[in-house]
Structure 1
């Protein structure tokens, strides 16, 4: 069977190759297909490294770009040429011709003289003042290539940088930072560096009150005639026609906030707002004028958020910080500000903040369908209500009610279906409510979060659980890269409501099963730290999240609990859990190009019970397998260690596998095929283990043999990236199975794509939303 597939793909590829090579047959008489440009640099005065860099930069600036190629072929051009003109601007034919296809780029579309000018101008901007360029066209078999020959000459260096002086205030500010100039003696002349220098000067002036200044007000004069050694002198000065307003240093007069602003407040392009101090007087709060006649917002929230005060010298940093903090409140849909000159003699202006609130209350109903690799399919219904200003201080209250069910559609014949229903509420304050402060960045608003929730879980024919949880804590950011999440108290209480005779019979012979329905009281602080550079425009970025969970530690130490010796303490007759849990998630991303990248992840975690606990609560243990983990194994079916979960089938019940130690590694190469279509090749490895021996799960304990118990899987994935939604399909197969006999765990010799039984047991299809990491 597999040979038939190979023959089909080979024949299809050959047909595409033949047709793709025949694109020129669609050309009209006299038309030539443009295949691209070649840059030849002929000059011995510059190094090969400089030639290579200049050539790449010049090629990037040439227009137009030729038709795209794949392995020397032009399949997009073929789709365009071979598809008949559609009758309407929609439908499959239109999509194939104009979305998948690509219109031919002809030689007549290439303005060679314009490209020649681009080459010369760009070279001059890089310091090659004596550049000379020419071009020639080579045509053959209805195809044409343009060859540009460039003779750049010697590149000029900066011999002197002078900041022209005068007696003005703005000039003195420019002189203060002249030593930080990007223009350095001995460096090559580069117009991009000159532009960066103008922006540096502008940024510094904006921080010192010169609100109306612009980088265009700076001119850098270059003189290459003063020396004969290919040097150039630079003179930095204000342009003679710089507007007077741009040279004035401004301070803040009044700060005026309109928290209920809308487009109707604009008439004839001007804001319909009070401009006189006496009309604003009723709205003053701590020198801020909050025009809110309906009293929808407490004025003090703006005193906390805004950085400008009356009499302050204008600076861009406080300007941007104030806008950022207003947005981070989460209650305003649009944030806009204006500076209006109120005293032209003393150079003062008023700052207006026009804030358009979001809908204060919202109600959203969500219906979801899902499936997972553990052969469950189900649905979930969520009703979410949000109030974004519950106490008039931008406090957010979120309440959710939900119900969900999962039904077994394959796998073990007697596996139980699941039903969940619950409700939760979270109240978030845009400030730290505590007698102490956190080192939070001024650009981000710290939050105090309080949450409470309840969930009812029913595993049909087996057991029913009641789950209660509550927490109080803080979230704050040091900067855009570092975030902290500290829960001072995080409480979970799990109580069984019903255990069927069937489950009790199974649990009687399996201690691990009985622990699933144990009464559990878990409380203590948790802390998570996140560091990421993924938002930065870099080739290499990282993401790290570390988590620490300290459950019952202080209570256990003070009470002298020792469960191993039979001295287990209780609270309201419920034993409390005592353990230490740590988890680390590190990810590395490398961007090869705009269309291809490499992503990797390492997860390492350990949970250690002591004092009042012999085991880690089931809900706090680690799991592996599934669409976001080791994809060649079904969700929560792998491990622990070399234990064979298939032996559970003898008990007619297939339960989730969990562990106290987790190690997982993932690597994925991602590349874009076309527009929203992305492909990936991946490898996953890892496992979970127990810290204590379990007689009913031999091989589950972490030991010196852990390396031989690592599971490995690999596969291919398709991702449909629609920006707001990413639909992911990953097909994976196991390459190393830890519960096989030692020495026979690699499965390369067992791969048999032609066998339907092998495919059924080894090919795992994961359907998910979003990327796995």
Structure 2
């Protein structure tokens, strides 16, 4: 009976599925669903997105060859509001019965609930309405195709359309395009009226995009028009516009050749009822006025304060709030210079870098004192932001550390604090949480906490005692940041105190290049609760406790269950083994394991003092958010401990417990670190992008260190790394992630991801991640952890999987499923696809794309 019921239920579900998946379910009678659309150009089917996007009507989006977006839309009830009203409101008996359990108001609100309304709105918004064939749009599409190929140089192009019925209420449209022979540019003649324009044109004529012997393309003429306009306006021709450039194309009886006549007319303007034409001329800047309070005109507002500084006139309606030098250093428009558009852009970018003004306004007017009318007055209007601003936020949290937490942030900003457009930012943050995993003798709900404060002082220039103008020019939009920070954790891990400080310089050598130089970056990490180590790093405790069960251990080290107590028992057992207690004679294997556990414990519990300098450079070819064909290149070099080493040697500082030199009784870190990253995106068109990333990083300890601080190490796994492993769950090498938090000082990472549109706002991805971390040139001795050259590349872990993303417009929610494809933790021959199943997969949640 149960089997029969199950079969009946399955049949009903199948019938309901096919009913909902009827693609013509919402197609009106007498209309057809556009199920297929093809473009045939000279006998070949075209899938080029530049061409297919010209079609006004395209079939519903298909995924796995199914119109899933259409199915989603069809599942929604088109008139759910009226159905609810008919069922619950107009049915007076049902309405009265429901009103006994709910109020009348609640019954009405039931129609706005997710089940009766929200789910149908979601299906409609996520899905796609059926595309109904429209002959008028078909003809418009054919015209667009003809115009497109005409602009590509096929002046004899012909387009036709056919529409065929391919099923019940379904139709297919085919566009047939016959191109003919393309036209090629032959002669190029110029007729330029103004001598100034003619002279400027000849300077860059060799850069012209219009060249003889090249196929005619309309886009090339628009690009050439833009090139010439930019060239003229950047060389002093202030009043030049694109409409003064015209191209006369002669194709009559030329044998598929196009003769081009470039026509650039004189400047024209209206004087009363007459249209006057005059040759263009080059303009000079005769005066630069800077209004720091943004009046619409200096004649309409009473100026209370003014000053002349380096040929700049500064005006203010109140007492001038800014030091003149601070403002004028950001201005690239100078008295006596030739007018240039690019100087306006540089000035705007530089003033925006101040962060104390809204977007500046730059306006020009003819100098009335110049009888030749060759001079311009530049008026720069600045609008100050509020001097003081306050911000605050409050969040509820859940993480693997705390079951429930409350976090708050508050920030206070003071702009123009020293009258040089500097900005001071003070921020405080706090977090209290509840964790059942921690000891809680007082049985308090909020048993963990973290708080901190940060101070940042920003200068819109290079803040340095020596002049740096020749090295870092003001055109590079430099800035300086001085930062200080403090944070403290209680009942979290080892309860760290973290002090930070940095002096950082940023500048842009070119438009899409960026440089960051940390003259010094100080970090002091102090572990308050070292005795909690084996409570935090449970895998180390388990390994140590398992070994202790094999030997006669001092009973005071054990609890009632015979396990090592923390910290007395664990520390006592370590000391007995490592100090060669004659009562215990461990095997060489156990001794090496215990020594490794102790080394890791010492490294993770030691206080770290890091004073580093670093230089990083990045370059990108991405010009907009919609650009899907670009690359990003980053390199970084970091050096730590050299300055402290010189000071310690000169002042004869004592050594610490590990035998290393100290500074203020703290053993400082010394290392060299380098990183390389290259990201490349390929636009495959049709809403498909292939993205790749390559990363290599290495940190080498030397001098006063034989290992890298935990905060400067590398880890593998996670939503932005190798997604088949959890964070800190990969490596090092072929070790199989023996520790709770696995890290090392060398990392290789390769990612490849194919991104595509599924339907609506849903996006999909297929990815392969490869990489691992290793120890190299440090104090780790375990062979499984160490990188030994090319032979160790066989320990690169490979993960693969798929992802689903939902595009909210301002942010992308990302869900990735990673599967361990090649796991180097297993013996050779058993590494491929051993855990390739959902039970061993890793589910990652992220915001935006991983690279």
Give the TM-score band, short-chain normalised: 0.7 to 0.9
1:277-302 per-residue CA deviation (whole Å, 9 max, x = no partner) reads x9698343322232222423222222
Residue equivalent to 1:545: 634
Q: Distance in 1 between matches of 2:10 and 2:388?
A: 56
Paired residues, number: 733
Residue equivalent to 1:652: none
Contact 2:192/2:265 (8 A) holds in 1: no
| 1:229 has 2:255 as partner | yes
In structure 2, relative to structure 1, the CA distance for the partners of 1:666 and 1:732 (3 Å cut) is: same
Consecutive unaligned residues in structure 1, runs of 5 or more: 43-47, 266-270, 649-654, 754-758
Contact 1:339/1:351 (8 A) holds in 2: yes
> Could you say what secondary structure the match of 1:700 adopts?
coil
In structure 2, relative to structure 1, the CA distance for the partners of 1:303 and 1:64 (3 Å cut) is: same
| 1:748 has 2:833 as partner | yes
Residue equivalent to 2:280: 247
| RMSD over aligned Cα atoms | 4.1
> Could you say what secondary structure the match of 1:512 adopts?
helix
Residue equivalent to 2:664: 572
2:344 to 316, 319, 326: 319
Question: What are the residue-to-residue correspondences of 1:624-663 with 2, within 5 Å?
Answer: 624-643=716-735, 655-663=740-748
- Report how far residue 366 of structure 1 moved: 2.9
Contact 1:79/1:96 (8 A) holds in 2: no
> Could you say what secondary structure the match of 1:748 adopts?
strand
Residue equivalent to 1:61: 54
Q: Distance in 2 between matches of 1:679 and 1:662?
A: 28
Question: What are the residue-to-residue correspondences of 1:29-108 with 2, within 5 Å?
Answer: 29=30, 31-35=31-35, 38-41=38-41, 59-80=52-73, 83-85=77-79, 87=81, 91-92=117-118, 95-96=121-122, 98-108=124-134
> Could you say what secondary structure the match of 1:23 adopts?
coil
Q: Distance in 2 between matches of 1:445 and 1:118?
A: 45
| 1:357 has 2:357 as partner | no
Residue equivalent to 1:446: 478
Question: What are the residue-to-residue correspondences of 1:143-292 with 2, within 5 Å?
Answer: 143-166=170-193, 168-225=195-252, 227-239=253-265, 242-243=268-269, 244=277, 247-261=280-294, 265=295, 271-274=296-299, 282-292=306-316
1:513-565 per-residue CA deviation (whole Å, 9 max, x = no partner) reads 13223233222322222233344676543223323221222543683999899
Q: Distance in 1 between matches of 2:73 and 2:801?
A: 33
- Report how far residue 677 of structure 1 moved: 2.9
Contact 1:395/1:427 (8 A) holds in 2: yes
Residue equivalent to 1:620: 712
- Report how far residue 23 of structure 1 moved: 0.7
In structure 2, relative to structure 1, the CA distance for the partners of 1:723 and 1:333 (3 Å cut) is: farther
Q: Distance in 2 between matches of 1:512 and 1:8?
A: 59
**Which has the higher mean CA deviation after the structures are superposed, 131-140 or 52-61?**
52-61
> Could you say what secondary structure the match of 2:606 adopts?
coil
Residue equivalent to 2:807: 721
TM-score normalized by structure 2? Answer: 0.76
Contact 2:522/2:611 (8 A) holds in 1: yes
1:297-349 per-residue CA deviation (whole Å, 9 max, x = no partner) reads 22222211111122322111112111121222222233222223333851333
Consecutive unaligned residues in structure 2, runs of 5 or more: 1-5, 83-110, 270-276, 533-565, 575-597
Q: Distance in 2 between matches of 1:422 and 1:87?
A: 52
Residue equivalent to 1:426: 456
Contact 1:135/1:146 (8 A) holds in 2: yes
- Report how far residue 163 of structure 1 moved: 0.6
Contact 1:210/1:246 (8 A) holds in 2: no
Residue equivalent to 1:494: 525
| 1:530 has 2:554 as partner | no
| 1:468 has 2:511 as partner | no
| 1:127 has 2:153 as partner | yes
1:90-132 per-residue CA deviation (whole Å, 9 max, x = no partner) reads 9536634652343444344524554454444444333333344
1:418-468 per-residue CA deviation (whole Å, 9 max, x = no partner) reads 6432222121211112324275475542112212222223345x7443322
Q: Distance in 2 between matches of 1:644 and 1:36?
A: 52
Residue equivalent to 2:325: 300
2:847 to 751, 769, 772: 769
**Which has the higher mean CA deviation after the structures are superposed, 515-524 or 444-453?**
515-524
1:712 to 787, 790, 798: 798
Q: Distance in 2 between matches of 1:213 and 1:534?
A: 30
| 1:604 has 2:692 as partner | no
- Report how far residue 728 of structure 1 moved: 3.0
Question: What are the residue-to-residue correspondences of 1:380-395 with 2, within 5 Å?
Answer: 380-395=407-422
| 1:673 has 2:755 as partner | no
TM-score normalized by structure 1? Answer: 0.83
> Could you say what secondary structure the match of 2:249 adopts?
strand
In structure 2, relative to structure 1, the CA distance for the partners of 1:386 and 1:717 (3 Å cut) is: farther
In structure 2, relative to structure 1, the CA distance for the partners of 1:154 and 1:594 (3 Å cut) is: closer
> Could you say what secondary structure the match of 2:332 adopts?
coil
Q: Distance in 1 between matches of 2:181 and 2:613?
A: 66
In structure 2, relative to structure 1, the CA distance for the partners of 1:452 and 1:163 (3 Å cut) is: same
Residue equivalent to 1:651: none
**Which has the higher mean CA deviation after the structures are superposed, 17-26 or 519-528?**
17-26
- Report how far residue 160 of structure 1 moved: 0.8
Contact 1:371/1:767 (8 A) holds in 2: no
In structure 2, relative to structure 1, the CA distance for the partners of 1:68 and 1:393 (3 Å cut) is: same
1:581-617 per-residue CA deviation (whole Å, 9 max, x = no partner) reads 2233333322323633233333322222222223222
1:588 to 680, 687, 690: 680
> Could you say what secondary structure the match of 1:456 adopts?
strand
Contact 1:382/1:400 (8 A) holds in 2: yes
1:479 to 491, 510, 516: 510
1:110-160 per-residue CA deviation (whole Å, 9 max, x = no partner) reads 245544544444443333333444444434544444444444433222221
Residue equivalent to 1:45: none
